[in-house]
Amino acid sequence: MAEETVSAALTLKDIAREAGVSLATVDRVLHNRPGVRSDTVRRVQETIARNAFQPHVAAAELARGRVRRFAFVMPSGANPFMQQIEAYLGEMSGWLSARRLSVEMVNTDVFDPSVLAATLETLSGDYDGVAVVALDHPGVRAAINDLVDAGTKVVTLVSDVPSSRRHHYVGIDNIAAGRTAGALVGRLVGQKSGKIAIIAGSRGLRDHAERIFGFNQVMASEFSHLDLLPLLEGRDEDDRSEQLISRLLGKHPDIIALYNVGAGTQGVAKALTETGRGKQIVFIAHDLTAMTRKLLLQGTLDVAISQNPGHEARSAVRVLLSLARNEPILSEQENIRIDILMRDNLP
């Protein structure tokens, strides 16, 4: 009935004895440190493999003694989504300190590449790991690569720099997110025909551009009977978005759906509500905040496409820790999903 009993608890000492060497030598091999003859290395490695030996992480942590320091480089300013990530990091404080891990917030202007790059450079040497909400720019890429070269583990958070040598990206596939938005718009408008509006913060932001790309892809290939209006840019500001959408709704009485790619959802919702067309028009936006939750519950917003900020916060910490310990990453666990949130499956 019972099966799969996990290996008896071997220790370094057992391996040392079986391989006919000392503790220190096994340790050296385990961390591929120099100073061991290559045939000794092989012999030890074989013994380790033969026994499927796993060093006890708790013992390793304890012996190492030192605390590990991680820095989170996040946008300064009042972005609710980023604030949620920071809040979830705060909730982990007990967990972190019980493991002698320290997480420090470094707020900076992540939208100015030179400022961001300079900030990253100042971190060099002081941290075991850095998580950064990055901007895809050559200067930033170089700063990330410098950190990596200095031995710091680097993960990009929410916004990636794929061309850098960062160790890991914690965030969603934004093209797929845009495709998801497109498919939902197409499916939710049903038989109706009419115009589709789309507004983003800026087509210069990588994540926005990717979402727009995915959205257009699906609209063109599967819902080509729908009439897609030109992209508006609201700079992620409520007021500006509201004005743009108000004007658009006035000009086109036959708008049947609206996709907001970035922030400014409050402004868009206000424009929709004030024209009294809030519930007829299919409205899709991103991220779950107190405000989008309210809009979902009252029916103004039909779907929020979101990435789980708590998951992202914890995943970034876990990945940095695994990288620092040279432990493998559980890839399925660290894959951030594109959540489709509607009124009835709100967390």
Partner DNA sequence: CTGTTAGCGCCTTCAT
Partner DNA sequence: ATGAAGGCGCTAACAG
Q: What are phi and psi of 182, to 5 degrees?
A: -60, -45
| 21 part of the interface to DNA, by CB under 7 A | yes
- Least separation in angstroms between CB 247 and its own copies: 28
Binding to its own copies by residue 247, rule CB under 8 A?
no
CA torsion sign for 52, 58, 63, 66 is positive
Pairing relation of β-strands 129-132 and 227-228?
Answer: unpaired
Shortest distance in whole angstroms from residue 315 CB to its own copies: 10
What are 285-291's contacts with CB under 8 Å, separation 24+? Answer: 285/259, 285/260, 286/177, 286/211, 286/260, 286/261, 286/262, 287/80, 287/81, 287/263, 288/339, 288/341, 288/346, 288/347, 289/80, 289/81, 289/84, 290/80, 291/80, 291/265, 291/266
Task: Tell me: does residue 189 bind its own copies (CB under 8 A).
Answer: yes
d(CA 313, CA 87): 9
Contact positions with its own copies (CB under 8 A) in 5-64? 5-7, 9, 52, 54-59, 61-62
Q: Which amino acid is at 282?
A: V
**Least distance CB 101 / DNA (angstroms):** 14
From DNA, its own copies, none, interface partner of 115 (C-beta below 5 to 8 A by class) = none
Q: Which stretch binds its own copies (CB under 8 A): 25-33, 34-42, 106-114, 283-291?
A: 106-114
Q: Is there binding between residue 100 and its own copies (CB under 8 A)?
A: yes
Query: Nearest distance from residue 176's CB to its own copies, in Å?
Result: 6
Residues of span 290-309 touching its own copies by CB under 8 A: 302, 308
Nearer to DNA, 22 or 221 (CB): 22
Q: For residues 242 and 334, which CB has a smaller minimum distance to its own copies in the complex? A: 334
Give yes or no for residue 335 binding its own copies (CB under 8 A): yes
Under rule CB under 8 A, residue 182 binds its own copies: yes
Query: How many whole angstroms separate alpha carbon 254 and alpha carbon 10?
Result: 71
9 binds DNA (CB under 7 A): yes
| Single-letter amino acid code for the residue at 218 | V
Does residue number 65 form part of the binding site for DNA (CB under 7 A)?
Answer: yes
- Specify the length of the chain in residues: 347
* 58 membership: H or E segment, kind and range: helix 57-64
- Residue from 28, 179, 208, 270 that binds DNA (CB under 7 A)? 28
Which residues, 6 or more positions from 69, have their beta carbon under 8 angstroms from its beta carbon? Answer: 101, 102, 104, 126, 127, 128, 129
Does the protein bind DNA through residue 60 (CB under 7 A)?
Answer: yes
CB of 138 to its own copies, least distance (A): 24
Tokens 């604030």, located at residue: 83
45 binds DNA (CB under 7 A): no
Distance in angstroms (rounded) separating the CA atoms of residues 15 and 51? 8
State the residues that interact with DNA by CB under 7 A.
9, 11-13, 20-25, 27-28, 30-31, 34-37, 40, 55-56, 59-60, 62-65
